[in-house]
Structure formats: C-alpha cells, structure tokens
Amino acid sequence: MTRSSRIASFRNSLAFKVIFSTVLLCLGVVWLTGSALYAQLSDGIKNVKVESSVAEARSAIFNAQYRIILASDSEAKAIKQIVDDIIVNSPSVIGTAINGREVALLRTKPMPKGAIDYQRTSNQMLVSSIPQELRLRVQKAVSTEWSETMIRYTDGTKVPALAVGEKITIPKAGDYEMYLLFSLDSQNATLDLLSRSLLLTGIALLLLITLITSLVVRQIVRPVREAARIAEGFTAGNLNQRMQIRGKDEIARLGTAFNEMALSLQDQITRLSNLSRVQQRFVSDVSHELRTPLTTLRMASEVIHSSRDQFDPNIARSAELLVAQIDRFERLLEDLLEVSRFDAEVAILESVEFDMTALATRCISDLSLLAKERSTSIELSHPKEPVLINADIRRVERILRNLLSNAIEYSDGKPIRVKIVASDTEVAVGVRDYGVGLEEQSAFRVFDRFWRADPSRARVRGGTGLGLSIALEDARLHNGELEAWGRPNKGAHFVLTLPRRAGGEIVSRLIRLQPEDYPSTV
C-alpha cells in the first residue's frame, strides 16, 4: 500500500476521525488545564520567594542602617568596618551556602569632597547586575522595591536572581542604595521539574485517552464496518451474508434489524429476479412464436391488397387498413425482440466509421414525406467538415429516426431544428420541436417503456411506446447519453451525446439541454 493510499484510507476511516478529533480536543483541554495549573503554581512559588526575600532584605537593610547610625559618632574607620562586615563578608549565592545572597551598596549622588567612598559589591559582583529601572524606583521610593535580574560576576558567571533594594544614609557620606540579591536557581529548578512533570503527565493522559477512545470506538465501528461490508456484498450480488449478533444492547438491536432488512431485500430481489426472467422469457417466446403466423398474415394481406381494385370500396379500404396494422404489428414485434435482447444483455455493437451529418441528412430525407403530411419542415445545422464517428450505424440511425419521428408527430405543423456539434471526443445531436411539448416532470419518464404523457392521445398519435426506451438503450450501449427537455406548448428538445469512438468516455456536453431560444419565447 502506497503512502497516498494509506493517507486516503485514514481520511475515509470513521474510527480515525473520531479518535483524531477526540485526541485533538483532549490535547486542547490538557494544554489549557496544564497551562493554568503551571501559571498558578509558578506564581505561588515566585510570590513566596518574593515575600521571603523582601522580608529578609528589609530586616538586613534595617540592621545595617541601625548599626551605621549607632556608629555615626565614631570615626570613619568604624563605619567602614561595619560596611565591610555587611557587604564583603556576605555569603555568595554560588557555592554551598544555604542562605547565600549578594549585597551591593551604591552611591545615589556624587561623593562629597573629602568623604569616604563606601560603594562596593560582594563577591566580585558587577554593578550592572542592578537594573537601572530598579535603581530609579528605589531613589524615588520611601519603601523597599524589588525586581528580577541576572547576577553577573567578573569571571562571566550569570545567576538568575531577585534584587531587593532600599535607600540608606551613611553619616558624612550622603545617600546610598543598598541591594540584596537572592538566587532564583532553586525556584527555577522547581519550575522546570514542575513543567516536565506536567508535560509527562499530559502525554501519559493523552495516551490513555487515545487507548480508551480506540477501544470504545472499535466496539462501535466494528459492527458498522461489518454492515458496510455486507451491504457491499449485496451490491455485488452476494445476498446470503448476515451480521453476527452479540449481546442485547443497541448495537445488537441494530444488527437484528439489519439482518431482517437483508432477508426482506433478498426475498424481494429473488422474487423480482424470477419475475423478470419469466417476463423476459415470455416476451422473447411470444415474439418468436408470433413471427410465423404474422408471416402468414403478411402474405395473405399482400394478396388481398394487390387485388383491392376488384373489391367493393369498403372492402378495399379494409384491405389497406389490414396491411397498415400488420406493418404496425411487425414493428411492435421488432421492438419487443430488441427489448428482450437488452434485458438479456446480449445486445452487441457492430462499430463502423461513418459521417454523422450524412446519416442525419439521409434520415431527414426518408422522413420528409411524413413531415410534409404533418405540414412541418426539418432544418439541419451542421459543421462544414464531415463529422466522422466510430459507432454502430444501425443503432445510431434508429435513434435518429425515433427522435425525428417523435418530433414530427408532435410538432403541430411548426418547424423542427436539428443541430449537430462535434469535438475531438464527442458528437452531439439536438432535435428541437415547437409543438405540444412535455410537462417538466414528464421529461424524466419519457424514456420508460410503454409510458405516455397523454394515454388518450396515444390512440391517435404515436407508435408502440418503446421507441424512446430503445433509443436510450442504444445510446448507453455506446457509452453515450440521451436526454429530454420539454415545456407544455413550448415544444421539446432531445439531445443525443455519443463518444467519437464507441465505448469511449463523454468528457463534456456539447449541446445544452435547455434550448438557447427558450428564455426568449417564455
């Protein structure tokens, strides 16, 4: 099986569609739930860290400010010793110190003349570790401010951290800013572990959902697939297959109803098939059996008809009627025999190459006397070049004669237009009359055997009622099509479309079924 065929089978699989849509929806739900849960947990972890860090920073800054104030009357050396004790000896966030933190003491304003510069950072931390935006907030605020940042060391090491700062005052040195930076490594590690746990849990949940859904869908889809397989077998002619029924649930009731329907269909198909065979055999046998007495009647009628001048005028007229009705009877028998061949599927094509225009011209010429009797005329429109087609000329001629005879019979003395259009792959013939026409719904039944739109009219006009039915079968035998259009008192339009070579495919319709002149005559 190729990749494209596998993809097509998946797309056409109900189980795949249900599982895919379920997993896709569950994926969205899991993602939304996981995202919300991760956001809440991460916010909670960060808030705890912020609260603890701000509290610790406030305490440390307060103690530092208190110690510096107590030493305000001492020498600068004592204050410097306090600053060194607070900053230089602070445990680094890198290493094994549990409560490690970095400390920075930065000048707020330029250093006065003669004053000692106390600006420094712990553990070779760069001053750029303190965000400028945080410094501006600390300088303007009267309370503690904080911000996330990245601790940078002189050796290039970087550590994510939380910076908390507040203003302090150093005697004889002016305003300074004191910052404590707490590492966020443990919190980030916790969040990473949390995200991985949520991801693995989501994947495991999706796998479980997929497994459960596939099991449930399999229980439901299996009977559907079995029903589809049995229905396809019915289409292929295998009428003996039935669904296996297990349990007493809804699927079991569906299987029982399906089997009962299949049994009923099998009985009806068998009965109709037998009836059709009997009917076909009856039509065929009757048609053949009637040929012998009909031949005898034909010979006797011709003898009587040849001597009609010696008879009384009423008897002579009866002889003419006898010959006419025997002719009609022969046509009916021929039609019935042809119908029986179609039913028995033994009709074959004897394809030859011929000119469709020449054939149509000949058919029109042969029917010109009948057209004259009906006070109508036939106009033929065709390409200048010969329209060569490979088909069964006898059957195509029969189609054209049926269409032309039908148009003449119901033209009501109005002209008939015949149009031939050809392409590289098809040949189309349109026969348009402007007579009594058809009801719109009758166009679908006009090709039914023995069907007439007006049964009372059938006693005056028309033939056996099989002509159009045989014409349609002849067209389909060529892999072509015959269509009908009509409106009451607006005439009818029959379109025959045949492939240029018998058995070929019809690619397009060269003549539109609804006539081009119809809207203008409404």
Provide the pLDDT for residue 457: 43
Q: How much of the chain is helix, strand and coil, in % rounded to 5? A: 55, 15, 30
Asked if residue 335 lies in contact with residue 471, where contact means CB atoms within 8 angstroms, the answer is no
- 3-46 pLDDT, tens digit per residue, is 555 555 556 676 777 788 888 888 888 899 989 998 999 999 99
DSSP symbol at 265: H
Q: Which pLDDT band, with edges at 50, 70 and 90, does 47 fall under?
A: very high
In the predicted model, what is the mean pLDDT of residues 274-291? 68
Q: Which pLDDT band, with edges at 50, 70 and 90, does 276 fall under?
A: low
Provide the pLDDT for residue 521: 45
Pick the closest to residue 123 from 150, 149, 99, 102 (CA basis).
102
pLDDT at 412 over 50: yes
Alpha-carbon Rg of the chain, whole angstroms? 50
Strand partners, 379: 417
Asked if residue 184 lies in contact with residue 160, where contact means CB atoms within 8 angstroms, the answer is yes
Provide the pLDDT for residue 382: 92
275: buried, middle or exposed (CB in 10 Å: 19+, 13-18, 0-12)? exposed
Torsion angles phi and psi, residue 463, rounded to 5 = -110, -125
112: buried, middle or exposed (CB in 10 Å: 19+, 13-18, 0-12)? exposed
Domain ranges of the chain: 242-347, 352-521
Q: Which pLDDT band, with edges at 50, 70 and 90, does 288 fall under?
A: low
What percentage of the chain carries pLDDT values higher than 70?
A: 83
CATH of 352-521, one of 3.40.50.2000, 3.40.50.300, 3.30.565.10, 3.40.50.1580: 3.30.565.10
Indicate the average pLDDT of the chain.
Answer: 82
Q: CA dihedral in degrees (406, 409, 412, 415; nearest 10)?
A: 60
pLDDT at 360 over 50: yes
Q: Which pLDDT band, with edges at 50, 70 and 90, does 130 fall under?
A: very high
- 68-87 pLDDT, tens digit per residue, is 888 777 777 788 888 888 77
- 172-203 pLDDT, tens digit per residue, is 788 899 999 999 988 888 999 999 999 999 89
pLDDT at 453 over 60: no
Asked if residue 438 lies in contact with residue 487, where contact means CB atoms within 8 angstroms, the answer is yes
HEC string of 474-511? Answer: HHHHCCCEEEEEEECCCEEEEEEEEECECCCCCCCCCC
- Cβ contacts of residue 272 below 8 Å, gap of 6+? none
Q: Which pLDDT band, with edges at 50, 70 and 90, does 343 fall under?
A: low
Question: Which SS3 state, helix, strand or coil, does residue 516 take?
Answer: coil
Give me the DSSP letters along 331-358: HHHHHHHHHHHHHTT------EEEEHHH
Residue with tokens 């001629």: 397
Torsion-angle region of residue 13: left (phi > 0), alpha (psi -120 to 50) or beta?
beta
CATH class of domain segment(s) 242-347: mainly alpha
